[in-house]
């Protein structure tokens, strides 16, 4: 039996990293770390993703904080601001080293892997790494001696028309994110489009509780609709999980966060299709 709360992950990042430079016009001060964020929402699975503010290898201290969780997915390629990850294999060698020490590490994710529309116009590159680099990452993860590790991808709905078909088949699991809150009304259409592109790949819904794309609060009505859509998709077995973004906004007084927490308490014990 699998419960709805077992399908929820936290998008874990360093406190105050979303406030850096005030780019997203977030209120308040964020002190909650990833482990505290999981406890706050009552979930025990997380991604741990670097931004320009950190962390930097070695990741031992961060992995130690998360060792009590059931599942941790480290970023081999962090956010677009992590320029060190644009070379070689990114942080994958360090992620593999962590996986040797911490058995709850189940894989690696590539964040902000495909370019934004503006970034593509600027440098002409679709992705941060060529296909052959991703193939090598996948092979290293699948060939990990202690257990097979999964390769995950962050995919934004605005990237669905990009020429990325050569990449998509390399990933074990794909997370689909809606960057602009106004586009959440089109989630079902975008999900079905993604499913046609990836008929056999497990899909996960990225869930923002702030409108990062438009740099403003996400209306509570949009949050309610978003969670209702994801719940329906989970109960029908269309998606395998939901990723809450993030501990970095969970303690700054947002009504969307409080609603999500209460919603999880109300629905977390529901059975879903494994």
For the segment 204-224, what is each residue's pLDDT rounded down to a tens digit?
A: 999 999 999 999 999 999 999
Q: pLDDT at position 215, please?
A: 98
What is each CA distance from 35 to 54, 68, 71, 72, 217, in whole angstroms? 16, 9, 12, 11, 24
CATH number at residue 194: 3.20.20.80
**Measured CA angle at 129 (ends 124, 132), to 5 deg:** 120
Mean pLDDT computed over 223-244: 98
Residue 51 DSSP symbol: B
pLDDT value for 122 = 64
pLDDT at residue 42, rounded to an integer: 99
For residues 220 and 24, is the Cβ–Cβ distance under 8 A? no
User: Sorting pLDDT into bands at 50, 70 and 90, what band is 125?
Assistant: confident
The answer to whether the CB of 110 falls within 8 A of the CB of 134 is yes
| Average pLDDT score over the chain | 97
Angstrom distance (rounded) from CA 255 to CA 159: 29
Q: How confident is the model at residue 105 (pLDDT cuts 50, 70, 90)?
A: very high
Q: Please determine, for residue 162, whether its predicted confidence score (pLDDT) is greater than 70.
A: yes
Contact between 9 and 243 (Cβ < 8 Å): yes
206 has which bridge partners? 243
Q: Which domain holds residue 28?
A: 2-272
Q: Which position has the higher pLDDT, 117 or 240? A: 240
The percentage of the chain sitting over the pLDDT mark of 90, rounded to a whole number, equals: 95
Is the pLDDT score of 164 beyond 80? yes
Q: Could you tell me the pLDDT band of residue 123, with boundaries at 50, 70 and 90?
A: confident
For 131-160, what is the mean pLDDT? 98
Q: What pLDDT sits at residue 118?
A: 67
Q: Is pLDDT above 70 for 141?
A: yes
Render pLDDT for 26-50 as a digit per residue (tens, 0 to 9).
999 999 999 999 999 999 999 999 9
* Strand partners for 175: 154, 204
Count structural domains, the chain.
1
Query: What element of type H or E holds 242?
Result: strand 241-245
Q: How many helices (H) and strands (E) does the chain have?
A: 9, 10
Inter-axis angle of helices 220-235 and 187-197, to 10 degrees? 40
């Amino acid at each position: 039996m699998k419960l709805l709360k077992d399908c929820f992950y936290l998008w874990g990042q360093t406190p105050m990293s979303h406030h850096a430079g005030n780019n997203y016009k977030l209120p308040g001060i964020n002190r909650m770390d990833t482990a505290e964020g999981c406890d706050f929402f009552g979930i025990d699975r997380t991604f741990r993703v670097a931004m320009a503010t950190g962390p930097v290898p070695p990741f031992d201290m961060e992995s130690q904080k998360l060792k009590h969780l059931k599942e941790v997915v480290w970023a081999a390629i962090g956010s677009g601001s992590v320029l060190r990850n644009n070379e070689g294999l990114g942080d994958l060698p360090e992620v593999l080293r962590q996986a040797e020490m911490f058995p709850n590490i189940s894989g690696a994710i590539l964040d902000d892997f495909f370019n934004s529309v503006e970034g593509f116009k600027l440098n002409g590159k679709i992705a941060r790494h060529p296909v052959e680099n991703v193939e090598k990452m996948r092979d290293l993860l699948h060939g990990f001696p202690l257990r097979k590790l999964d390769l995950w991808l962050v995919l934004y709905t605005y990237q669905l028309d990009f020429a990325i078909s050569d990449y998509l088949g390399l990933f074990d699991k794909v997370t689909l994110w809606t960057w602009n809150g106004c586009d959440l009304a089109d989630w079902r259409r975008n999900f079905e489009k993604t499913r046609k592109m990836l008929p056999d790949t497990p899909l996960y819904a990225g869930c923002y509780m702030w409108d990062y794309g438009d740099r403003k609060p996400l209306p509570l009505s949009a949050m309610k609709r978003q969670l209702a859509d994801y719940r329906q998709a989970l109960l029908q077995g269309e998606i395998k999980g939901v990723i809450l973004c993030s501990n970095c906004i969970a303690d700054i007084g947002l009504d969307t966060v409080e609603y999500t927490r209460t919603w999880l308490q109300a629905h977390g014990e529901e059975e879903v299709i494994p």
